[in-house]
Amino acid sequence: MIAVRGLSKEFDGVKALRSVDLEVARGEAFGLIGPNGAGKTTLIRILTGQTPPSSGEVLFDGEEIDPLQPGYRLRIGLVPQEPAFYGRLTARENLALLARLYGIDRQSASGRVEWLLSWAGLEEHADRQARHYSRGMQQRLSLAMGLVHRPDIIYLDEPTSGLDPEARVSLWGLIDLLAGEGRSIFLTTHDMEEADRICDRLAILVEGSVRERGTPQHIKGLLGADRVEMRLPAGSEGELEAVCGRLGLSWRREGEIVTVTGPELPDKLPEIVSTLAGRVSDLHYREVTLEDAFLRFMRGVD
């Protein structure tokens, strides 16, 4: 649905993006992860028509477009890094104002506003000034604001940063609903649990360049790997080597603890245990997290 080709952006000598190529399919949830200053917000700003690229192109449904053009902007929604609504207006007033700005007629606008208030769980607070809302309520309002005009794709810049765990899960629920309706989602985040839970595919952006891309599973497999740790006294290395060789696994020993890694580990575990029966104790299965993989990846990047 959205593709960028050779997209670069320079701010007075600072190369914020260096020839980025990305694609987001219809109905896909795509995540951009990377450290502070990597260029994530800059990419979202370009894709939402807030700043022009220095070079490169943006394609929407296969056709090159200028994201600064209003026609395209009517088809996208944005939840910016900082909440953008009028604090002195209520949620209902903010949504109604935006619906009018989008040119939605009064009657449909009113139905849309009520639907969004209920969708975002803001009905009870709909007539309070938005500046008095908790951070979680503000983010739910920001999300509803991004959806007033039923966009095909919604851009979310760190949607849950600063939210408490409950508010974070509540926002994830809303994002899941959007994905379920077949809308495309383009999200930036520092939260690896969020990236893993929500995104179908991820790209790692470092210093303006895409360094890796793929499913969360692929990114986890790049550097991190599921592993089994067990206590195994010295003297069983021959059998361990034989069973791991047969199953395509690798192992290493640190003192009494042996760590085994490799693909499809859970299915192979029973055979390892039965081969070493009676000698293995304290067996733990450790699933790699996206956070492990990302941190290891970043340590390897200079």
Ligand X SMILES: Nc1ncnc2c1ncn2[C@@H]1O[C@H](COP(=O)(O)OP(=O)(O)OP(=O)(O)O)[C@@H](O)[C@H]1O
CB of 2 to ligand X, least distance (A): 18
**Which part of the chain contacts Mg ion (CB under 5 A), choosing from 20-28, 34-42, 47-55, 228-236?**
34-42
CA gap 205, 150 in Å, rounded: 29
CB of 77 to Mg ion, least distance (A): 18
Strands (E) located in 61-214: 63-65, 76-79, 153-157, 184-189, 201-206, 209-214
Cβ closest to ligand X, residue 44 vs residue 258: 44
Q: What is the DSSP letter of 78?
A: E
Residue ranges that bind ligand X, judged by CB under 6 A:
11, 14, 16, 34, 36-42
What are the CA-CA distances from residue 298 to residues 7, 18, 209, 224, 262 (Å)? 23, 18, 13, 12, 22
Q: Which of 215, 40, 60 is nearest to 151 (CA)?
A: 60
CA gap 233, 280 in Å, rounded: 8
Query: Are 171 and 144 contacting, i.e. CB atoms less than 8 angstroms apart?
Result: no
Q: What is the DSSP letter of 299?
A: H
CB of 27 to ligand X, least distance (A): 25
Cβ closest to ligand X, residue 53 vs residue 148: 53
Q: What is the helix, strand, coil percentage profile of the chain, to 5?
A: 40, 30, 30
Q: What is the DSSP letter of 129?
A: B
Cβ closest to ligand X, residue 38 vs residue 116: 38
CB of 252 to ligand X, least distance (A): 35
CB of 6 to ligand X, least distance (A): 18
CB of 194 to Mg ion, least distance (A): 15
Residues 74-103, interacting with Mg ion (CB under 5 A) = none
Cβ closest to ligand X, residue 53 vs residue 130: 53
Cβ closest to ligand X, residue 40 vs residue 168: 40
What length is written for the chain? Answer: 302
Is the C-alpha dihedral spanning 271, 276, 277, 279 positive or negative?
negative
CA gap 223, 231 in Å, rounded: 24
CB of 63 to ligand X, least distance (A): 26
Q: Which position among 19, 41, 236, 275 is part of the footprint of Mg ion (CB under 5 A)?
A: 41
With CB cut-offs between 5 and 8 Å by kind, which of ligand X, Mg ion, none does residue 102 bind?
A: none
Name the residue with the smallest CB distance to Mg ion. Answer: 41
Cβ closest to Mg ion, residue 41 vs residue 275: 41
What are the CA-CA distances from residue 18 to residues 5, 56, 211, 275, 298 (Å)? 11, 10, 11, 52, 18
Give contact residues for Mg ion (rule: CB under 5 A).
Answer: 40-41
